[in-house]
Amino acid sequence: MNSRLSAFATLSCVSLAAAPQPLTLGAQAAGDARWTSHHEHVLGTSLELTVRAADRASAAAAEAAALRSIDRDETMLSTWRADSEASRWARTSMQPVPVSPELLNVLAAFDTWRERTGGALDASVEAATRLWSSTTARGRTPTPNEISVTVEAMQQPHWSLDRVHGTAMRLTDVPLAFATFVKSSITDRAAKAALAAGASGVMLNVGGDVVVRGSLTQIIAVADPHAASENDVAVRHVVVRDAAVATSGSYRRGFELAGPLQRQEPGFSHLIDPRTAMPASHVVSSTVVAQDAETAGALATAFAILPVAQSHALAAAIPGVQYLLLLASGGEVRTSGFPAPNGLQPVAYAPAAANTPAAGMWNPAFTLNIDLELPRIADARYRRPYVAVWVEDADHFPVRTLALWTQNPRWLPDLKQWYRDDQLRRMAEGTDVSRTITSATRPPGKYNLKWDGKDNEGKPVKAGKYTICVEASREHGGYDVERHELDLGATPLQATLAGAKELGAITLDYRKR
């Protein structure tokens, strides 16, 4: 699965808060409310959990049940934890070993999906992944002989199962990785655990694997694989109720050649076809909606590897599957039930307009890219910071808010400078941008935003001096704000801000698109 869709540590402090409901469709039962929490290092990624429940105590009980379910599954099924049941079993050889029903089911499911996909899904693809990782790190790609040896190793049967006695025998020492549908299945069991604990509806998003169960409807945004910025527009929005969504693809992660060839060769997709040990890159994004989470996860990966015609045939054989494939060639393939693009057509600037902007106005051929880092802080009470990124004009009037990352709008006043500026702007303009811009807090990591030279209403601004402002406020933590003035006209320019405790380095790059 891709990096936004991936062992588990329960946060010591549980924080639940009434969440905004702009993406919720349909009426709620009397007395029910939505409650949202975020957790880090869940199955190697981040978790967003939304439950519908009668009160805070019921929501907390449902959340705790979901986390216990994930924790339990990870201790059994993670192939990245050396102490998990799966890893201990993988170190055995040629002897039947009693295993849990959960591990036995995962091994059997890999057998099933390996057959259904003609070998496109295989847990032993980890051998090819390690080959590409090690060789590209040394500045080269695998040799034909290395590819051939690896393919031969992967094509063997790697285990035999005895359902009657509940045992599994390891037949090879080829490395295995339980990815693809396993995280989706774990997420689905966690959702069911939350419902059993008292939630009336639940949505779990574990790094992009989304499961919605019970009396809850969610709108899921499908990211544009060609857009690197956090504030780029999604390519689709899918309305989901009692279903699962999974996305995989060849974008944003991959193998890069180390050394002098790095600038000469493009990166290689992290998705590898187990049948050839070669990266698969003809599909840049594969999104699947299915009733069954295992099916959604398995097919999302398989469809990013298989030829499009084979993907279509496989989907047609499984009732209820909808998919959207975005191709490297620029086209797309989707089932009839998958939402078409919305009615808004993209507007392109005429070449003359791009090269000859109106006098004194922002040149539409330029964009400002903002790369910022949220550092990982060693703090037992660490909470993700609330972050605001906005642009002020020469009079220090806030013309554009690019990002508002909070868990709940009621904490926007903690972003003191942005909030003060926005109160002035709201008095002048009479609009509330937080309703359309606020989104979930982000975990530590590197993020990209861009400014296209338009204000909050989508109107082009004048060329001239602007101040880029980045503010971070962390619950039980510190506070930082960085400001940098740029003269944005016809000349490309760059600037780097060193950052502080709550904010890492910030890079500003004004250049042609």
Q: Where are the beta strands (DSSP E) in 94-153?
A: 96-98
What is the model's pLDDT at position 338? 83
Instruction: Report CA 67 to chain centroid distance, whole Å.
Output: 19
Domain 351-512, architecture per CATH: Sandwich (2.60)
d(CA 289, CA 209): 10
Q: Give strand pairing partners of 218.
A: 240
Rounded (5°) CA angle 103-104-107: 85
Q: Indicate the helix (H) or strand (E) that contains 101.
A: helix 101-116
Those residues whose C-beta lies under 8 Å from the C-beta of residue 113, and which sit 6 or more positions away, are 121, 180, 181, 298, 302
> Is the Cβ–Cβ distance between 304 and 267 less than 8 Å?
no
> Is the Cβ–Cβ distance between 157 and 171 less than 8 Å?
yes
**Tens-digit pLDDT profile for the chain (513 aa)?**
333 222 222 222 222 332 323 222 223 344 578 888 878 778 877 788 999 999 989 999 999 999 999 999 999 999 988 999 999 999 999 999 999 999 999 999 999 999 999 999 999 999 999 999 899 888 899 999 999 999 999 999 999 999 999 999 999 999 999 988 999 999 999 999 999 999 999 999 988 889 999 998 888 878 777 766 777 777 788 888 999 999 887 655 555 555 444 433 445 677 899 999 999 889 988 999 999 999 999 999 999 999 999 999 999 999 999 999 999 888 889 998 887 664 223 322 233 334 456 778 999 899 999 999 888 777 655 677 889 999 999 999 999 999 888 866 667 788 888 988 888 887 777 777 776 676 777 778 888 999 999 998 888 999 999 999 999 988 767 889 999 999 999 899 999 998 778 888 899 999 988
- Taking residue 330's Cβ as centre, other Cβ atoms within 10 Å add up to 8
Would you identify the CATH topology of the domain 95-170?
T-fold (1.10.3980)
Eight-class DSSP state of 365:
T
Delimiting residues of CATH 1.10.3980.10 domain(s) in the chain: 95-170
At 340, which amino acid appears? Answer: A
Those residues whose C-beta lies under 8 Å from the C-beta of residue 138, and which sit 6 or more positions away, are 258, 259
What is the model's pLDDT at position 380? 56
Delimiting residues of CATH 2.60.40.4070 domain(s) in the chain: 351-512
Those residues whose C-beta lies under 8 Å from the C-beta of residue 160, and which sit 6 or more positions away, are 168, 169, 171
Residues of the chain by 3-state class (helix, strand, coil), percent to 5: 25, 30, 40
